[in-house]
């Protein structure tokens, strides 16, 4: 649903230092916006040597190491740029430097630095627009769930989550699950969003630097903005770029943008997300129906989501696999055809649109719901629950045999593992990781040592005290941590919903008017 840059991978036939410079930059004598790359980031930076370290501390350490590595790699170049009084921006998550309006003369000088590996153009790419005109309705139709929400059984999953996590007094204690949406902006005062928008640490606009949330309906973005948003998801800061605080790191990132195939330029961001425990969800693209059309970064190590209709057929525009790497993609499908959701023309405005950009937030919302039950789920565990609960029985065959895999086999290159089902995925997760509350409450009262004082002299009492302490210290590891029930997806936001601090928006540019649809929101 968004825009994207593709960085060319090399230049053939150019010798010497100029071989580091993209051919497109050498073809023109005009100044250009460029990205200076400094080679691969050591994989050790993403690993933690302390298994007991908290998530926030691990992320903080990783960010510190990435910044230190970037500073060391870029030191000679930054000294040169400062001496030449050339403005620049450093991207620590990818170890790159951004320069606007750079001349060819400066590019050639930069290519002479030994640690510079490539100089590429920050190209502007249009987004894949939805397949149908947007139909704007004046006000919300009602509190009935949109068809996609009903089809994936989100209301039933929410009820089950509340039942499982509820206490005897009927209350449900729901912690925050933060979802970062890398997109074109947000009307944060909209009735479907305002109760769930993070506010402070919830907005960043690397494209235009505006401090307050907005969405101005543009038509694309640059890679630098997407990378900057990737950094924001790992360690958010205030809207002016100050005061980074890694405790606000996302749990899930929704990416309804894509372009090109086999592109690796976003890989360092994805790697950092995985290390930080952030689940990356990406729309597969709107370049279907031919086989092998899934776009980057959906063809990388992410959860790629295709689009289905209200009769459980694949949307004709939904990009399908296999990827150019031969992998089965998409991973899953979700409702993305004729989806009604919030619109930017007013605080009660709604619109209908179609695209994998509409499907991606459905899957993102489901993942947030699963994390609500168990916030420390790993990427592999999330996928296991999603895949295990996906619907396959009633999916309508499209007649394709993409990658030599018949659609009756799962996973396949049209539907992936199937169409998401929130209720079944949550059931699978609860079965795999049951909340056991009885052992901690029963053990101290039923232990044999409590009987010993009645049959033994008082001299035995000191020996009975230590055992009563042991169960207390062992309880936390044996009891799964319950999490936050939330996130249904587009259009269904009853009046009683008021779970703050859920959605963070990183405005990576002015994008399409369609891109704001389907923002997920909390719903206990």
**In this predicted structure, what is the pLDDT of residue 17?**
56
Same domain, 282 and 420: yes
What per-residue confidence (pLDDT) applies to 286? 92
Over the stretch 78-89, which tens digit does the pLDDT of each residue have?
999 999 999 999
Q: With beta carbons less than 8 A apart as the criterion, state whether 241 and 251 touch.
A: no
Residue 410 lies in a domain: yes
Q: With respect to residue 523, please indicate whether it lies within any of the assigned structural domains.
A: no
In the chain, how many domains are there? 2
| Within a domain: 522 | no
Report which of residues 504 and 444 the model is more confident about: 504
Give residue 49's pLDDT: 76
One domain for residues 343 and 386: yes
Q: For residue 496, give the CATH number of its domain.
A: 3.40.50.200
Whether residue 158 sits in one domain with residue 36: no
Last residue of a domain, one of 97, 124, 151: 124
d(CA 325, CA 3): 22
What tens digit of pLDDT does each residue of 289-338 get? 999 999 999 999 999 999 999 999 999 999 999 999 999 999 999 999 98
CB count in 10 Å sphere of residue 180: 29
- Whether residue 3 is contained in a domain is answered as no
Per-residue pLDDT averaged across 241-249, rounded? 94
- What pLDDT, on a 0 to 100 scale, did the predictor assign at position 184? 80
Please check the confidence at residue 116 and state whether its pLDDT lies above 50: yes
CB-based contacts of 336, cutoff 8 Å, min separation 6:
148, 305, 306, 307, 308, 315, 318, 354, 355, 356, 357, 358, 359, 360, 362
pLDDT in the model for residue 169: 65
Backbone angles phi, psi at 328, to 5 degrees: -70, 125
Beta strand 350-353 with 339-342: parallel, antiparallel or unpaired? antiparallel
For residue 343, the model assigns a pLDDT of 79
CA 246 to centroid of chain Cα atoms: 16
Residue 467 clears pLDDT 70, i.e. is over it: no
Backbone angles phi, psi at 402, to 5 degrees: -60, 130
Q: Dump pLDDT digits (tens) for 357-415.
A: 899 999 999 999 999 999 999 999 999 999 999 999 999 999 999 999 999 999 999 99
Domain assignment present for 116: yes
Say yes or no: 75 and 206 in one domain.
no
| Res 503: pLDDT | 55
Q: Of 356, 386, 196, whose CA–CA distance to 286 is shortest?
A: 356
- Give 138's pLDDT tier (boundaries 50, 70, 90): low
Active site residues: 183, 219, 357
In the three-class reduction of DSSP (H, G, I as helix; E, B as strand; rest coil), residue 172 is classed as strand
When mean pLDDT is compared across 209-218, 273-282, 329-338, 491-500, the lowest value belongs to: 491-500
Say whether both 148 and 208 belong to one domain: yes
What is the CATH number for 80? 3.30.70
Query: Is the domain of 486 the same as that of 416?
Result: yes
pLDDT at 512 over 60: no
Q: Between these two residues, 307 and 514, which has the higher pLDDT value?
A: 307
Give the residue with greater pLDDT, 441 vs 75: 75
pLDDT at 244: 95
80, 102, 124 - which closes a domain: 124
pLDDT at site 156: 95
- Predicted confidence at residue 344, as pLDDT, reads 79
Query: Do residues 86 and 106 touch, judged by C-beta distance below 8 A?
Result: yes
Is pLDDT at 176 greater than 90 in this prediction? no
Whether the per-residue pLDDT at 495 is higher than 60: the answer is no
- Where in the sequence is the domain holding 152, given as residue range(s)? 135-432+482-507
- 34: β partners: 99, 121
Residues 287 and 417 in one domain: yes
Residue 480 exposure: Cα atoms within 13 Å on the Cβ side: 20
Could you give the 3-state DSSP secondary structure of residue 358? helix
Are 269 and 302 found together in one domain? yes
Say if residue 77 is in the same domain as residue 205: no
**What does each C-alpha distance from 75 to 83, 94, 268 come to in angstroms?**
12, 15, 20
Same structural domain, 139 and 272: yes
Mean pLDDT in the chain?
79
168 assigned to some structural domain: yes
- Contacts of 8 by beta carbon, 8 Å cutoff, 6+ apart: 22, 23, 24, 120
Helices 438-446/461-478 angle, 10° precision: 170
pTM: 0.81
Out of 191-200, 248-257, 440-449, 473-482, which region has the weakest mean confidence (pLDDT)? Answer: 473-482
Please report whether residue 315 resides in a domain.
Answer: yes
Model confidence at 342: pLDDT above 70: yes
Answer yes or no: is 491 within a domain: yes
- Do 139 and 119 share a structural domain? no
Confidence of residue 134 (pLDDT cuts 50, 70, 90): low
Whether residue 27 sits in one domain with residue 162: no
pLDDT for 12 beyond 60: no
The secondary structure of 249-302 as a DSSP string is --SEEEE----SSS--TTHHHHHHHHHTTPEEEEE--S--SSTT-PPTTTTSSS
pLDDT at 218: 44
């Amino acid at each position: 649903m968004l825009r994207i840059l593709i960085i060319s991978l090399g230049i053939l036939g150019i010798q010497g230092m100029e071989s580091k410079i993209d051919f497109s930059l050498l073809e023109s004598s005009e100044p250009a916006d460029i990205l200076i790359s400094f080679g691969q980031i050591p994989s050790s930076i993403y690993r933690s040597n302390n298994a007991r370290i908290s998530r926030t501390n691990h992320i903080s350490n990783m960010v510190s190491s990435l910044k230190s590595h970037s500073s060391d790699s870029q030191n000679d170049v930054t000294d040169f740029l400062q001496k030449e009084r050339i403005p620049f921006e450093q991207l620590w998550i990818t170890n790159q430097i951004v320069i606007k309006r750079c001349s060819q003369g400066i590019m050639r000088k930069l290519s002479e630095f030994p640690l510079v590996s490539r100089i590429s153009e920050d190209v502007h790419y249009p987004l894949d627009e939805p397949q149908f005109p947007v139909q704007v309705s004046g006000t919300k139709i009602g509190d009935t769930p949109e068809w996609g929400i009903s089809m994936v059984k989100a209301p039933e999953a929410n009820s089950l989550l509340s039942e499982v996590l509820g206490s005897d007094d009927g209350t449900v204690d729901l912690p925050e699950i933060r979802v970062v949406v890398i997109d074109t902006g947000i009307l944060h005062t909209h009735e479907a969003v305002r109760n769930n928008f993070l506010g402070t640490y919830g907005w960043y606009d690397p494209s235009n630097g505006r401090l307050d949330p907005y969405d101005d309906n543009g038509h694309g973005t640059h890679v630098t903005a997407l990378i900057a948003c990737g950094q924001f998801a790992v360690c958010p800061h205030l809207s002016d770029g100050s005061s980074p605080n890694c405790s606000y790191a996302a749990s899930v990132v929704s990416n309804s943008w894509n372009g090109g195939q086999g592109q690796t330029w976003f890989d360092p961001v994805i790697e950092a997300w995985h290390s930080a425990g952030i689940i990356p969800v990406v729309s597969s693209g709107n370049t279907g129906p031919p086989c092998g059309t899934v776009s980057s970064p959906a063809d990388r190590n992410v959860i790629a989501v295709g689009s289905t209709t209200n009769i459980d057929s694949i949307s004709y525009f939904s990009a399908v696999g296999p990827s150019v790497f031969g992998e089965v993609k998409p991973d899953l499908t979700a409702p993305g055809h004729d989806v009604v959701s919030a619109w930017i023309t007013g605080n009660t405005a709604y619109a209908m649109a179609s695209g994998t950009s509409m499907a991606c937030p459905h899957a993102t919302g489901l993942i947030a719901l699963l994390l609500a039950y168990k916030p420390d789920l790993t990427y592999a565990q999330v996928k296991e629950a999603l895949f295990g609960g996906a619907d396959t029985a009633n999916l309508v065959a499209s007649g394709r045999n993409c990658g030599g895999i018949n659609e009756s086999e799962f996973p396949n290159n049209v539907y992936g593992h199937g169409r998401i089902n929130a209720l079944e995925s949550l059931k699978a997760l609860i079965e795999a990781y049951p909340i056991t509350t009885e052992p901690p409450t029963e053990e101290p009262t039923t232990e044999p040592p409590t009987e010993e004082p009645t049959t033994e002299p008082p001299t035995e009492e000191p020996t009975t005290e230590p055992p009563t302490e042991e169960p207390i210290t062992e309880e936390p590891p044996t009891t799964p941590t319950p999490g936050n029930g939330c996130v249904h997806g587009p259009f269904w936001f009853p009046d009683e919903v008021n779970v703050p601090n859920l959605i963070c928006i990183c405005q990576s540019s002015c994008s399409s008017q369609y891109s704001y649809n389907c923002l997920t929101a909390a719903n206990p």
